[in-house]
Amino acid sequence: MTFSERLAAVEDRIASACRRANRERGSVRLMAVSKTHPASAIHEAVEAGLTLFGENRVQEFDAKRAVLPLGIEVHLIGHLQSNKAARAAEIFSAIDTVDSLRLLERLNAAASQATRRLPVLLEIKLSEEPTKAGFTPGSAELEQALERAADFGNIEVLGLMTIAPLDKNPEAARSCFRKLRDLREQLVRRHPLVNLRELSMGMSGDFEIAIEEGSTLVRIGTALFGEREYAAGR
């Protein structure tokens, strides 16, 4: 299958999920997750009409970005170590995986250095898997992050992001997505100054369920680019 054929199939599935949920197609953005794929794959995707990409490593994107088409938006969707915050704040359009107050502070300082405003999403940990990062719902740290968000002049907190638990049954993801949507509603009531409009949830295995549960941004890698090949040591 060509990239355009895979994209058409994904678009059909997004459109059907929107119809089932009584939502406009325009209320869900498609992010093409290009991690591990070469710059040529991004060029192909741009030719097919995509403009929003997700990468999960600062160094990998730094190596690719010189040869990418202009006018695309690339978000970081992987864990960010604080020693790479400064570079990440320079090269990414947005950071969608802010998982601590400390990282939020670092990014605000880095964005200020880079004289820019940096959009971010707060990553929320909704399952017990030890590999998962993110703020715990109801934690003091999450409340503080939202209270302080208004003071961080160079950061714009635009919403929440989560990764559903790995499970063969995609319906297992549904309760996780519902929790994220409910959490946003609670937080919006308590922090009216922060505009939490984005819900980044849904990947190749569960994006239709995520759309039914209110996702505004689906992050799709495999269904668009095919299986990833990881280099040794990853």
Ligand X SMILES: *Cc1c(COP(=O)(O)O)cnc(C)c1O
Task: List the one residue from 14, 32, 33, 74 that touches ligand X (CB under 6 A).
Answer: 33
Nearer to ligand X, 152 or 203 (CB): 203
- Do 72 and 46 contact (CB within 8 A), yes or no? yes
Nearer to ligand X, 14 or 163 (CB): 163
Q: Is 222 in the site for ligand X (CB under 6 A)?
A: yes
Task: List the one residue from 6, 35, 57, 106 that touches ligand X (CB under 6 A).
Answer: 35
Nearer to ligand X, 152 or 199 (CB): 199
Distance between CA 119 and CA 124 in Å, rounded? 16
Query: The tokens of 65 are what?
Result: 């970005």
Q: How far from 123 is each of 14, 87, 168, 218, CA to CA, in Å? A: 23, 20, 23, 14
Task: List the one residue from 18, 45, 77, 199 that touches ligand X (CB under 6 A).
Answer: 77
Which residue of the chain is nearest ligand X when measured via CB?
Answer: 221
Q: Is 220 in the site for ligand X (CB under 6 A)?
A: yes
Task: List the one residue from 119, 134, 159, 221 that touches ligand X (CB under 6 A).
Answer: 221
Residue 151, Cβ neighbours under 10 Å: how many?
8
Q: Is 45 in the site for ligand X (CB under 6 A)?
A: no
Q: Which amino acid is at 228?
A: R
Distance between CA 170 and CA 151 in Å, rounded? 39
Give least dist CB 200 to ligand X, A: 8
Q: Is 209 in the site for ligand X (CB under 6 A)?
A: no
Task: List the one residue from 34, 56, 127, 215 that touches ligand X (CB under 6 A).
Answer: 56
User: Where would I find the beta strands (DSSP E) of the chain?
Assistant: 29-33, 52-55, 73-76, 94-98, 118-123, 155-161, 198-200, 217-220
Nearer to ligand X, 28 or 203 (CB): 203
Distance between CA 178 and CA 139 in Å, rounded? 18
Binding track over 186-205 against ligand X, x by CB under 6 A = -----------------xxx
Up-side HSE of residue 158: CA atoms within 13 Å toward CB? 19
Give least dist CB 75 to ligand X, A: 10
Q: Is 167 in the site for ligand X (CB under 6 A)?
A: no
Degrees (nearest 5) of the Cα angle 34, 40, 41? Answer: 35
Q: Which residues bind ligand X (CB under 6 A)?
A: 33, 35, 56, 77-78, 163, 203-205, 219-223
